[in-house]
């Protein structure tokens, strides 16, 4: 089932407060539940700097905005249980090395070894746990030299989070429930399963076999998982859609089909910038790329949030099923 996107506009831009900086990416949107104490707005939008030391937070009373920054943010690196100082290189170890990594000296992209030693937290994936009256955030951090892993943290108010010690899996979790279990889709296309979503994630198959899948968003419709994703090396990097049949043994799941949903065309998306292939990792200059899809459904409407100009803002579109 293909999706058509109707652009709504730019929500978040660099330097919206004195602290957040220029790198803007990794959105995750929730509707604030009625039981949350002293809410700052009707919607909370969590996002990150790719190499930041805290998870950013914007608030609004309508999805379309206007959005305003909560400058203190939410979870901090110091409270994340990930290292706060750069790890030493570890000869003899096997660090993460994914397809599509930029060669040293690529403009706007940090050297892989420098990039792989910078303490940070990013890629929030935030969920409302109504049963336990808490907000759950999955996030990744630098666990060791060129090694990123995911943890979970919980919060009673969506502002102050307490991290859990267990390392759950690779980076860039997008979590969904199906058939009484909790699943996570991690980079590059790896599926994991947990009984309760907070511990004991078991590794399963890779849904995307070329190793170039970057960030994803997930939407369950019956026994079908809709995956919105981007691919490293595409020119331009753009948002794609594939499906996964959730019928049968989860160890046999595989992504099928590929349809384009959105590519950078407007100026705020980077449509005026040079057409070039993308690389893995943070990008510190505006580029002609869309990244980091996030889907949010409410009252029969399906929204797509995504990073623009590589990692230079967050925009909103509405998705229509055709």
CATH class for domain 3-321? mainly beta
With 0-12 / 13-18 / 19 or more C-beta atoms within 10 angstroms meaning exposed / middle / buried, residue 147 is middle
175-224: per-residue pLDDT in tens? Answer: 999 999 999 999 999 999 999 999 999 999 999 888 899 999 999 999 99
Q: Which residue has the higher pLDDT, 290 or 112?
A: 290
pLDDT of res. 96: 59
Q: How many CB atoms lie within 10 A of CB 224?
A: 14
Give me the half-sphere count of Cα atoms (radius 13 Å) on the Cβ side of residue 152. 21
45-101: per-residue pLDDT in tens? Answer: 999 999 999 999 999 999 999 999 999 999 999 999 999 999 987 766 655 556 677
> If you average pLDDT over every residue of the chain, what do you get?
95
Give me the half-sphere count of Cα atoms (radius 13 Å) on the Cβ side of residue 10. 18
Distances (CA, A) of 197 to 102, 183, 307: 33, 7, 26
Q: Which residue has the higher pLDDT, 280 or 21?
A: 21
pLDDT of res. 97: 59
| Cα–Cα distance for residue pair 259/121, rounded to 1 Å | 31
Q: State residue 180 phi and psi, 5-degree precision.
A: 85, 0
Q: Of how many residues is the chain composed?
A: 322
Q: State residue 192 phi and psi, 5-degree precision.
A: -130, 160
pLDDT of res. 317: 99
Q: How many CB atoms lie within 10 A of CB 39?
A: 17
142 in Cβ contact with 148 (< 8 Å): yes
Q: Which H/E stretch holds residue 212? A: none
* Cis peptide bond N-terminal to 300, omega within 30: no
pLDDT band of 123, cuts 50, 70, 90: very high
pLDDT of res. 217: 99
Q: How many CB atoms lie within 10 A of CB 1?
A: 11
- DSSP letters for 8-60: EEEEE-TTSSSSS-S-BEEEEEEEPPTTSSS-SSSEEEEEE-TT-SB-EEEEE
Q: CA 237, 192, 150, 28: dihedral to nearest 10 degrees?
A: 50
Q: How many CB atoms lie within 10 A of CB 29?
A: 22
Overall average pLDDT of the 108-131 stretch:
89
């Amino acid at each position: 089932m293909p999706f058509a996107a109707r652009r709504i506009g730019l929500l978040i831009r660099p330097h919206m407060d004195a602290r957040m900086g220029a790198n803007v990416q990794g959105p995750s949107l929730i509707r604030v539940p009625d039981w949350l104490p002293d809410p700052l707005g009707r919607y909370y939008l969590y996002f990150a700097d790719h190499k930041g030391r805290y998870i950013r937070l914007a608030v609004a009373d309508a999805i379309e905005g206007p959005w305003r920054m909560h400058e203190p943010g939410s979870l901090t690196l110091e409270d994340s249980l990930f290292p706060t100082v750069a790890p030493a290189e570890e000869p003899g170890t096997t660090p993460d090395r994914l397809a599509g990594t930029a060669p040293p000296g690529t403009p706007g992209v940090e050297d892989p070894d420098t990039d792989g030693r910078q303490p940070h937290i990013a890629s929030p994936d935030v969920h409302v746990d109504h049963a336990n009256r808490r907000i759950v955030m999955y996030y990744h951090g630098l666990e060791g030299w060129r090694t990123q892993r995911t943890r979970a943290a919980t919060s009673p108010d969506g502002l102050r989070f307490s991290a859990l010690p267990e390392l759950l899996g690779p980076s860039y979790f997008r979590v969904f429930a199906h058939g009484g279990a909790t699943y996570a889709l991690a980079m590059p296309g790896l599926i994991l399963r947990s009984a309760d979503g907070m511990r004991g994630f078991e590794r399963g198959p890779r849904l995307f076999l070329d190793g170039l899948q970057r960030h994803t968003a997930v939407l369950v419709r019956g026994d079908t998982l809709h995956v919105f994703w981007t691919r490293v090396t595409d020119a331009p990097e753009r948002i794609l859609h594939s499906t996964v049949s959730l019928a049968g043994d989860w160890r046999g799941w595989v992504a099928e089909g590929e349809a384009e949903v959105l590519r950078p065309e407007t100026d705020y998306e980077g449509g005026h910038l040079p057409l070039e292939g993308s690389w893995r990792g943070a990008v510190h200059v505006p580029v002609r790329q869309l990244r980091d899809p996030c889907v949010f459904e409410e009252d029969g409407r399906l929204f797509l949030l995504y990073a623009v100009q590589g990692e230079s803002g967050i925009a909103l579109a509405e998705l229509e099923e055709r």
